[in-house]
Amino acid sequence: MKYEAPEPKTDTEIKQIISYPEYSFKEKINSALSAIYYSQDIEFCADIIIYFFNNSNLEENLFIKNLFETFYGIRRSIYKLQEIIEMLNDYKLSENKYAEEFDATIEVLMEYKDMFKLK
């Protein structure tokens, strides 16, 4: 799946799209990207990606995990960074067929953790 440039959406619109099953996965990805690029609320942004990840299947999560890299790379925040690293590690253990893909994301997040000096 290739990402498209996100359109600005309100936090309410983003939450609605990601929360309701009638929206396509592509619409949900674009809404999550809108949160990353346009939301003024960093906590909302991280929380909505976590929600999206926790309510998606493995195939979808192979894409969604990359949103965490995008979020922390752009926002330079430490909000829930350690929690997300732990969540991805736990998920990787339950879906070890894709351990390498999850390890790559975890490695990037660990680098952000070191850059941001989160202990």
Residue-wise pLDDT tens digits, 94-117: 988 999 999 999 999 999 999 987
13 contacts: CB under 8 Å, gap ≥ 6: 31
Count of structural domains within the chain: 1
pLDDT of the residue at 109: 98
Quote the tokens at residue 80: 């829930």
Phi, psi dihedrals of residue 118, rounded to the nearest 5°: -85, 125
- 6 falls within a domain: no
Q: CA-CA distance, 5 to 36, in Å (whole number)?
A: 11
Quote the tokens at residue 116: 């941001």
Which residue's structure tokens are 């965490």?
Answer: 68
Q: What is the span of the domain harbouring residue 96?
A: 11-115
- 85 falls within a domain: yes
- 55 falls within a domain: yes
Q: Give the predicted TM-score (pTM) of the model.
A: 0.92
Q: Is the distance from CB of 49 to CB of 68 less than 8 angstroms?
A: yes
- 104 falls within a domain: yes
- 19 falls within a domain: yes
